Amino acid sequence: MYSQTQAFSIVQFCEAHGFSRAMFYLLMKDGRAPAVMKVGKRTLISAEAAADWRKRMESER
């Protein structure tokens, strides 16, 4: 079994990164959200996409 999260729901991603779902959707609207994937009806963010997003956000400073 994996010891680390492999994919986050939007709620899990927001909680892990300390902001609201509303902020997530603002980031999506601005084209600044992490890449998402659809699995059935669920929208998930892979651990790799989350890491890429963090690097991108750090470089925007």
pLDDT single digits (tens) 16-60:
999 999 999 999 999 999 999 999 999 999 999 999 999 999 998
Number of structural domains in the chain? 1
- pLDDT bracket for residue 3 (50, 70, 90): low
**Is 33 domain-assigned?**
yes
Q: Which helix (H) or strand (E) is 54 found in, with range?
A: helix 47-59
Residue 31 gets the label, from left (phi > 0), alpha (psi -120 to 50) or beta, of: left
Domain, as residue range, for 17: 7-59
Whole-structure pTM value: 0.87
**Is 1 domain-assigned?**
no
